[in-house]
Amino acid sequence: MTVDSDALRFSQTLRSAILLPLAVIFLTALLLLSLVLWLFHDMHWSYHSYRVLVDERDSQTRVCDSQDNMRGYLLTGDESFVRAFEADQNATNVQLDQLKQMVQDNPAQVSNAEDIIQAKDLWFDYAKTLVARRVERPIVNPQDIEMGKTLMDGVEAKYEKFNQTEIALQEERLRRVHQMQSIVTYGGGALLVLLSLSIAQVVRRQFMKLAGEYRRALTIIEDRAAALARSEADLEEQKEWFHVTLKSIGDGVIVADPEGRVVFMNEESERLTGWTSTDALLKPLPEVFKIVNEETRVPVENPVAKVFREKKVVGLANHTVLISRVGQEWPIEDSAAPIYDAKEKVLGVVLVFHNATEMRHTQRTLRAYSQNLEREVAERTTTLQQAVIELEAFSYTISHDLRSPLRAMQGFAQAVVEDYADKLDEQGKNYLLRIRNAAERLDRLIQDLLAYTRLSQEKAMLGPLDLDKIVREIIEHYPNLHLPAAQVEVVGTLPKIMGLEAALTQVLSNLLGNAAKFVAPGTEPRIKVWCEDHGEKVRLWIQDNGIGIAPRDFERIFQMFVQVNEPQRYGGTGMGLAIVRKAVQSIQGSVGVESEEGQGSKFWVELNRAT
Amino acid sequence: MPFSKNTESSVRVLVIEDNDDDRELLLRQLKKSGMAGHVKFITDGRKALDFLTVPSKTLTEELIAIFLDLKLPSLSGLDLLRRLRTDEKLQNVPVIVMTSSNDPKDMEECRKLKVTNYVNKPVSFTSFSKAVADVFHLPRQGEPPMSVEEV
Residue A276 is classified by DSSP as -
> Best of B26, B101, B127 to disrupt the A interface by mutation (most A CBs within 10 Å)?
B101
Region A251-355: CATH code: 3.30.450.20
Q: Is A410 on the interface with B (CB under 8 A)?
A: yes
Average pLDDT over residues A568-594: 85
Distance from CA of B101 to the nearest CA of A (A): 5
Task: Return the residue of A nearest to B122 by Cα.
Answer: A407
Beta carbons of A502 and B104 less than 8 Å apart: yes
pLDDT at residue B147 in the model: 39
A64 Cβ neighbours under 8 A, 6+ residues apart: A152
Angle between helices A576-586 and A501-517 (to 10 degrees): 150
B contacts of A396 (beta carbons < 8 Å): 101-103, 106
**Residue B36 lies inside a defined structural domain of this protein:** yes
**Residue B61 lies inside a defined structural domain of this protein:** yes
Q: Tens digits of per-residue pLDDT, A312-342?
A: 888 876 778 889 989 888 888 888 888 887 7
Q: Tens digits of per-residue pLDDT, A56-71?
A: 888 888 888 888 888 8
pLDDT at residue A447 in the model: 80
For residue A99, pLDDT over 70 is answered with yes
The domain in which residue B69 lies consists of 8-133
A contacts of B101 (beta carbons < 8 Å): 396-397, 399-400, 403, 450
Q: Is the Cβ–Cβ distance between A565 and A546 less than 8 Å?
A: no
pLDDT band at B4 (very low <50, low <70, confident <90, very high): very low
Task: Return the residue of A nearest to B25 by Cα.
Answer: A411
CA A355 vs CA A175, A320, A358, A361: distances in Å: 117, 11, 8, 11
Q: Is the Cβ–Cβ distance between A502 and A543 less than 8 Å?
A: no
Cβ-Cβ contacts under 8 Å between A and B: the total is 43
**Residue B101 lies inside a defined structural domain of this protein:** yes
> Best of B19, B103, B111, B127 to disrupt the A interface by mutation (most A CBs within 10 Å)?
B103
For residue A199, pLDDT over 80 is answered with no
Average pLDDT over residues A181-189: 86
Average pLDDT over residues A161-177: 87
Q: Tens digits of per-residue pLDDT, B32-48?
A: 888 888 899 999 888 88
For residue B8, pLDDT over 50 is answered with no
Q: Is A433 on the interface with B (CB under 8 A)?
A: no
pLDDT band at B9 (very low <50, low <70, confident <90, very high): very low
Kindly report the CA angle at A146 between A141 and A147, in degrees rounded to 5? 95
Chain B residues within 8 Å of chain A (Cβ atoms): 19, 21-22, 25, 28, 71, 100-106, 121-122
**Residue B90 lies inside a defined structural domain of this protein:** yes
Beta carbons of B21 and A411 less than 8 Å apart: yes
In this structure, are strands B95-99 and B65-69 parallel, antiparallel, or unpaired?
parallel
pLDDT band at A466 (very low <50, low <70, confident <90, very high): very high
Distance from CA of B54 to the nearest CA of A (A): 31
pLDDT at residue A181 in the model: 87
**Residue A407: which of B21, B102, B105 has the nearest Cβ?**
B21
CATH number at residue B53: 3.40.50.2300
**Residue B28: which of A405, A410, A415 has the nearest Cβ?**
A415
pLDDT at residue B5 in the model: 45
pLDDT at residue A211 in the model: 82
Q: Which region among A222-226, A496-500, A571-575 has the lowest average model confidence (pLDDT)?
A: A571-575
| Superfamily for domain range A460-608 | Histidine kinase-like ATPase, C-terminal domain (3.30.565.10)
Mean pLDDT score across all residues of chain B: 79
d(C-alpha A312, C-alpha A314), whole Å? 6
Highest mean pLDDT among A15-24, A139-148, A336-345, A546-555: A546-555
Distance from CA of B38 to the nearest CA of A (A): 22
d(C-alpha A172, C-alpha A109), whole Å? 15
For residue B2, pLDDT over 70 is answered with no
pLDDT at residue B64 in the model: 87
Beta carbons of B100 and A397 less than 8 Å apart: no
d(C-alpha A287, C-alpha A267), whole Å? 18
Average pLDDT over residues A184-207: 82
CA A268 vs CA A249, A321, A571: distances in Å: 7, 16, 85
Q: Tens digits of per-residue pLDDT, B54-101?
A: 766 667 677 889 999 988 888 888 889 998 888 888 888 899 999 876
Q: Is A477 on the interface with B (CB under 8 A)?
A: no
Task: Return the residue of B nearest to A450 by Cα.
Answer: B101
CA A228 vs CA A215, A217, A234, A239: distances in Å: 19, 16, 10, 16
d(C-alpha B111, C-alpha B119), whole Å? 14
CB burial of residue A364 (10 Å; 0-12, 13-18, 19+): exposed
Beta carbons of B21 and A404 less than 8 Å apart: yes
**Residue A412: which of B25, B71, B100 has the nearest Cβ?**
B25
| Boundaries of every domain in chain A | 3-217, 251-355, 365-457, 460-608
pLDDT at residue A307 in the model: 83
pLDDT band at A379 (very low <50, low <70, confident <90, very high): very high
Task: Return the residue of A nearest to B104 by Cα.
Answer: A396
d(C-alpha A129, C-alpha A150), whole Å? 15
pLDDT band at A2 (very low <50, low <70, confident <90, very high): low
Residue spans of beta strands (DSSP E) within A363-495:
463-466, 487-490
Q: Is A404 on the interface with B (CB under 8 A)?
A: yes
Number of domains in chain B: 1
pLDDT at residue A460 in the model: 64
Beta carbons of A396 and B103 less than 8 Å apart: yes
d(C-alpha A86, C-alpha B50), whole Å? 220
pLDDT at residue A468 in the model: 93
**Residue B147 lies inside a defined structural domain of this protein:** no
pLDDT at residue B97 in the model: 92
Beta carbons of B21 and A502 less than 8 Å apart: no
Average pLDDT over residues A5-30: 79
Beta carbons of B21 and A393 less than 8 Å apart: no
Beta carbons of B121 and A399 less than 8 Å apart: no
Helix or strand run (H / E) with residue A553: none
CA A326 vs CA A211, A272, A322, B50: distances in Å: 70, 10, 11, 85
> Best of A400, A420, A449 to disrupt the B interface by mutation (most B CBs within 10 Å)?
A400
A contacts of B71 (beta carbons < 8 Å): 400
CA A579 vs CA A326, A453, A456, A566, B107: distances in Å: 74, 9, 9, 20, 21
CATH topology of domain A365-457: Helix Hairpins (1.10.287)
The tally of CA atoms less than 13 A away on the side-chain side of residue A311 is 6
User: What does R_g of chain A's alpha carbons equal in angstroms?
Assistant: 78
Burial readout A106-136 (b: 16 or more C-beta within 10 A, e: otherwise): beebbebbebbbebbeebbebbeebbeebee
**Residue B60 lies inside a defined structural domain of this protein:** yes
For residue A230, pLDDT over 90 is answered with no
Beta carbons of B106 and A393 less than 8 Å apart: no
d(C-alpha A94, C-alpha B85), whole Å? 197
**Residue B121: which of A393, A407, A412 has the nearest Cβ?**
A407
pLDDT at residue A511 in the model: 92
Q: Is the Cβ–Cβ distance between A558 and A585 less than 8 Å?
A: no
Q: Is A407 on the interface with B (CB under 8 A)?
A: yes
**Residue A404: which of B19, B28, B105 has the nearest Cβ?**
B19
Q: Is A479 on the interface with B (CB under 8 A)?
A: no
CB contact residues (below 8 A), chain A span 45-84, against chain B? none
Distance from CA of B138 to the nearest CA of A (A): 16
Beta carbons of B122 and A396 less than 8 Å apart: no
Average pLDDT over residues A510-520: 90
CA A318 vs CA A39, A293, A294, A365, B9: distances in Å: 113, 8, 9, 16, 84
Beta carbons of A399 and B101 less than 8 Å apart: yes
**Residue B101: which of A400, A408, A410 has the nearest Cβ?**
A400
Q: Is A400 on the interface with B (CB under 8 A)?
A: yes
> Best of A390, A392, A394, A396 to disrupt the B interface by mutation (most B CBs within 10 Å)?
A396
User: Between residues B9 and A534, which one has the greater pLDDT?
Assistant: A534
B contacts of A410 (beta carbons < 8 Å): 122
Beta carbons of A408 and B21 less than 8 Å apart: yes
pLDDT at residue B144 in the model: 44
B contacts of A400 (beta carbons < 8 Å): 71, 100-101
pLDDT at residue A444 in the model: 82
User: What does R_g of chain B's alpha carbons equal in angstroms?
Assistant: 14
pLDDT band at A3 (very low <50, low <70, confident <90, very high): low
Average pLDDT over residues A101-119: 87
Strand partners, A97: none
pLDDT band at A457 (very low <50, low <70, confident <90, very high): low
